[in-house]
Amino acid sequence: MLTLNAAPPSSFSSFSIAPFDVNYQVCSQLFVPGNLNYWSARASRKLKNFQLKAGFWESIKSGLVKNNTTQVIDPPTTDEEDEEPLPQEFVLVEKSEPDGTIEQIIFSSGGDIDVYDLQALCDKVGWPRRPLPKLAAALKNSYMVASLYSVRKSPGSEGNEQKRLIGMARATSDHAFNATIWDVLVDPGYQGQGLGKSLVEKLIRALLQRDIGNITLFADSQVVEFYRNLGFEPDPEGIKGMFWYPKY
């Protein structure tokens, strides 16, 4: 592993000559895995142009980087990237109905949510519609997505399971200091049972365990009390959130 900092900062720009067998995992050139971001295709095209105009050492390095395109970014020794969102799924509550049907409410994190199901859920709670591709991108690139499913099993031998999305919460983060919780919603038919509370609590727990201390959210007026009970404080020490409003 090449460490760039072996030289004093003044030589940060002039890369010292490195032996060619060194593993160039260090990002002296941009390194964007193709599957991570659909803007990366455009970015890597721009990267190629940039490389053509770059200097002598850059062209040598780019040759090295091309050989490593399939490599994972982080070496296993650092524990930066072992913070995959907990891919857990567990039963939160199990209810048995008089006719023998069992309904389980399952908490899931890290699983994929169907955007159509999510769109339907947002409609149910009365939220305005948002473009589906944007919604899908937002889900894919959120640091954590926690969801609640209701699974109904009828007592028959078939055991046809009905799985429905009934709640979701997601958080974006820089993986180190700040996180913002967006889009917390629970199906109106399942509200009032503490499900929303456990969704948010699990998100907070997961974030704090990764040492992410600034957890923020923007609450509508009717849910301020809900979050206050969960340990959130409105405008702490005068910190306010402002939003961008373009003036035409």
Partner 1 sequence: MALTGVAVGMKVHIQIVEGYRSKSMELRLVRRRKSSNTDRNPLKPATGSLFPVYISTDPQHINPHELRDLYTTCNHSCHRFPNLIDSNGQVEPVDLRKLNVALSHSAVLVSVFCKTHNIVGDGDDNLTPSINSSSLSFMGLTDLLQRVTPVTPFNGQLVGFGRAISDYGLTASIYDVMVIPSLRRMGIGKMIVKRIVRMLTDRDIYDIAALCSKNERLFFKACGFASDMLGSTTMMYTRTTSTTQEDDQNISRAGRKLLLVPPLRGVRKSPSSIP
CB of 123 to partner 1, least distance (A): 17
What is the smallest separation between the CB atom of 240 and partner 1, expressed in angstroms?
5
d(CA 98, CA 125): 28
End-to-end alpha carbon distance in the chain: 50
Active-site positions read 227
Rounded distance, CA 138 to CA 154, Å? 35
Euclidean distance between CA atoms 227 and 218, whole angstroms: 10
Work out how close the CB of 103 gets to partner 1 at its nearest, in angstroms, rounded to a whole number: 9
User: Residue type at 238?
Assistant: G
Closest-CA residue to 148 (of 182, 109, 103, 97): 109
Distance CA 146, CA 126 (A): 20
Residue 9 is which amino acid?
Answer: P
Phi, psi of 99 (to 5 degrees): -85, 10
Residue 189 has φ and ψ, to the nearest 5°, of -70, -15
Q: How far is the CB of 158 from partner 1 (least distance, A)?
A: 23
- Cα 27 to Cα 73, 77, 108, 214, 223, distances in angstroms: 9, 17, 34, 28, 43
